[in-house]
Structures are given as structure tokens and as C-alpha cells.
């Protein structure tokens, strides 16, 4: 059975817009998966350490038959193909970051996977691109996307042309 999944994409190294655009194509090529749509690109200041370049972000909507644990493994493999090296540093610079925001209406709280993404409700660079795709979304454990947007200003989030 297919499920609708939302993936956050981010990059701030080595021509980040190119990483995001390639990753959108690669997401649609995953086994048992097709890309339905994706948001435009957004530029935002880094979250966490500020001594790094701005990020380019987007959100993709996928339809997949992959279970969540297989999907996250494939996303991490894509990150690695784009040159990401996982370190202990949280929120550091990276050529590609892929996070599962939502997997249908499931809630998962495992050590290596939390869905909905635990920080999505406080991140404009996730909420605003997500709202482009599905404005009336009800996010399990968080409520209506429209309500989350009201409490998360878009300060410093700049929509870009492209994608």
C-alpha cells in the first residue's frame, strides 16, 4: 500500500541549489517511489552554528511503498552520494540533508527515526515550503499546519526562483 511522505531537503555546500535539484530527481527514482511535487527553493540563515554559508531548502512530496526504515536508509545513502560525511557536530554545514518530515499519519519514536520530524514545528524553512504543497495539512501530534505557520514567522526566509 502506498503512503504519502514529505521530505525536507537542505544544502549549504558545493552549489547547494544543484544538490537540491539533483536530489529531487533522485528521490523520484527510488524503488517503489514517485515524486508527486516539490516546493520552490528557499534560502535561510543556518540553524545552529552561524559560521557557515546560508542554506537552500525545499520540501518534496513523495508517494512510496517503502517502509519508513528502508526509506531513511535510502535517504542516508543519497546524502552520502552527495558527499555528506556524518560527524558528531549537529547542524553543521553539509552538501545534502534529507529528513522525513511526515510518513502518512504515522507517529514513530525510535532511537534512529522520529516521525513527524521533532523540530519541524519550529522551523520556517520546513513549514513554509511544506505549506506550498499542502496548506490544509493536519500534522500528527502538532495540529494544523496553518496554526503552526502563525507561530513561526518567516523572518529571514527568502523564496528563490528555480526548481
Q: Closest Cα partner for 127 from 139, 109, 145? A: 145
Give pLDDT tens digits for 68-105.
Answer: 999 999 999 999 999 877 665 666 678 999 999 999 99
Bridge partners of 34, per DSSP, are 63
pLDDT at 161: 73
Give pLDDT tens digits for 50-66.
Answer: 778 999 999 999 999 99
**Model pTM score:** 0.93
Report the CATH number at residue 65: 3.30.70.560
Write down the residue that cell numbers 496548506 correspond to: 135
**Count of structural domains, the chain:** 1
Whether 94 is catalytic is yes
Whether 147 is catalytic is no
Q: Quote the domain boundaries for residue 29.
A: 3-159
Give pLDDT tens digits for 108-139.
Answer: 999 989 999 999 999 999 999 999 999 899 99
Mean pLDDT for 146-155 is: 93
Task: Please state whether the peptide bond connecting residue 116 to the residue before it is cis, i.e. omega within 30 degrees of 0.
Answer: yes
Using CA of residue 82, residue 76, residue 144, residue 135, what is the dihedral sign? positive
* Pairing mode of beta strands 33-38, 3-11: unpaired
- For residues 129 and 39, is the Cβ–Cβ distance under 8 A? yes
As given in the structure block, the three cell numbers for residue 140 are: 500528527
Which residue in 54, 84, 109, 123 is the catalytic one? 84
Which residue in 34, 51, 86, 97 is the catalytic one? 97
Which residue in 40, 86, 99, 147 is the catalytic one? 99
Which residue in 14, 94, 123, 155 is the catalytic one? 94
Q: How far is CA 3 from the centre of its chain?
A: 17
Amino acid at each position: 500500500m502506498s503512503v504519502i511522505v514529505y521530505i525536507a531537503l537542505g544544502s549549504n555546500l558545493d552549489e547547494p541549489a544543484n544538490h537540491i535539484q539533483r536530489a529531487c530527481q533522485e528521490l523520484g527514482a527510488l524503488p517503489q517511489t514517485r515524486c508527486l511535487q516539490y516546493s520552490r527553493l528557499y534560502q535561510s540563515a543556518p540553524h545552529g552554528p552561524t559560521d557557515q554559508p546560508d542554506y537552500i531548502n525545499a520540501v518534496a512530496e513523495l508517494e512510496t511503498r517503502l517502509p519508513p526504515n528502508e526509506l531513511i536508509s535510502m535517504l542516508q545513502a543519497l546524502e552520502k552520494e552527495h558527499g555528506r560525511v556524518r560527524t558528531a557536530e549537529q547542524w553543521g554545514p553539509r552538501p545534502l540533508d534529507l529528513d522525513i518530515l511526515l510518513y502518512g499519519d504515522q507517529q514513530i519514536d525510535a532511537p534512529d527515526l522520529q516521525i513527524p520530524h521533532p523540530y519541524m514545528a519550529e522551523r520556517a524553512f520546513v513549514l513554509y515550503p511544506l505549506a506550498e504543497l499542502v496548506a490544509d495539512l493536519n500534522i500528527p501530534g502538532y495540529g494544523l499546519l496553518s496554526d503552526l505557520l502563525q507561530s513561526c514567522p518567516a523572518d529571514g526566509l527568502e523564496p528563490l526562483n528555480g526548481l
